Amino acid sequence: MKTVKTLVAAAALAISATAAHAADTIKIGEINHYKRLAAFAEPYKKGIELGLKEVNASGGVLGKPLEFIFRDDQGKPGEAIKIAEELMTRDGAVMLTGTILSNVGLAISSFAAEKGYVYLAAEPLADALVWSAGNPYTFRLRTSTFVQAAMLAEAAAKTDALKYATIAPNYAYGKDAVEAFKVNLKKLKPEVEFVTEQWPALFKIDAGAEVQAIEAAKPDAIYNVTFGPDLAKFVREGTTRGLFDDRNVYGLLTGEPEYLEPLGEEAPEGWVVTGYPWYDIPAGPGLDFVKAYEAETGETPKIGSLVGYMTVQSIAALITKAGSTETSALLGAFPGLKVETPLGEISYRDVDHQSTMGAFIGTTALKDGAGVMVDWTYKDPEAYMPSDEEIKSMRPAE
């Protein structure tokens, strides 16, 4: 009987210790597609883990360790919403973050607004998140799709090309990306014409048919928004059939390591792209991050690695500024929040809750049998944003 009592007491003590530990950490609910999009989500997670290690080694936030609870939504909006509720009501998360796919991000954003939860959309790229479907509870870290498309349109407008073809995945992000390129290019060069638009289903591209349709339209230039396995198939088929010969090609995200590196020797040359040239970052915070990430993981960073790391930096800075984990305090601290990152200081705009994270734009080339970005520049987004008045007219009344 004494042994039983001892065991019961020990169990109670262990439970008490676990509860005390839980109360002594600040929990963040992180929702992502870790199995469905492992190639993209895992580097993002490793960036988060590096950021957490550094933050907690420096004393944590408000004197407590920062903890991320990682949950997998299988890339399904309904599952993501279910998980979001569990994280906030059962697991003690003080806010939500994560997601790569825009349809999932939009679902969590709508749910967060309904329930009054703060949500930092780390990676979703659809601009509806902060514009047409924006709400007081949602903020976004990754560079605006509109901005990146505007940077590519600026480069395209300097050429003689007048007839354009577009190809993009048929969901929110792809639609936003094509519309942004068209709006910005026509503003700079009204005489341009879009002769064909191709909309393959995400990760189900029939590359042969798409290449044939684009070639039949005889464009002067091509705007590509495909990524991942769709990009690989499109590049392979287009190269084989000569689609890219003597044509300017503009690739949104194509220069990101997640998408460029798997192409290997098949990587296209001469495309103007947005991306992340980690291998060519000069001395400073950007290079410090690259070295720290390589030392910690034994791998080279991806853009997701950088975004994950900056997500931790943003949340740590937010809670520090708020001085509290209460939702009202976080909401008050987010607009105008300044964060020191590997890309320099960024802030979260009051007008639309979009961060001022910029973008790298350059040209693809082959180096040692691999695709890289050359002649790149890092551009601040402010010059490419719509006016505050235009953005206010897009966002729902609050």
- Chain centre to alpha carbon of residue 214: 28
**pLDDT, tens digit, for every residue of 282-329?**
999 999 999 999 999 999 999 999 999 999 999 999 999 999 999 999
Share of the chain above pLDDT 70, in %: 94
**pLDDT, tens digit, for every residue of 131-177?**
999 999 999 999 999 999 999 999 999 999 999 999 999 988 999 99
DSSP 106-163: HHHHHHHHHHT--EEE-S---GGGTTTT--TTEEE-SPPHHHHHHHHHHHHHTSS--E
Half-sphere exposure at residue 332, Cβ-oriented, CA atoms within 13 angstroms: 10
Average pLDDT over residues 77-97: 98
C-alpha 274/C-alpha 147 separation (Å) is 11
- pLDDT reported for residue 397: 83
pLDDT exceeds cutoff 50 at 20: no
pLDDT exceeds cutoff 60 at 8: no
pLDDT exceeds cutoff 70 at 2: no
Q: Both tokens of residue 73? A: 């939504």
Average pLDDT over residues 256-264: 95
- pLDDT reported for residue 172: 85
- pLDDT reported for residue 23: 62
Q: What is the length of the chain? A: 398
Average pLDDT over residues 95-113: 96
C-alpha 227/C-alpha 254 separation (Å) is 7
Taken in order of first residue, the domains within the chain and their CATH numbers are 2-143+283-358 (3.40.50.2300), 146-277+359-388 (3.40.50.2300)
Q: With CA atoms as reference, report the closest residue to 50 among 302, 284, 313, 293.
A: 293
273 with 361: CB under 8 angstroms? yes
Please state, rounded to an integer, the average pLDDT across all residues of the chain: 94
Average pLDDT over residues 228-239: 96
Helix boundaries (H) for the chain? 2-23, 38-57, 77-89, 102-115, 145-157, 172-188, 207-217, 228-240, 257-260, 285-297, 303-322, 327-333, 388-394
Residue 56: band (very low, low, confident or very high) from pLDDT cuts 50, 70, 90: very high
C-alpha 336/C-alpha 316 separation (Å) is 15
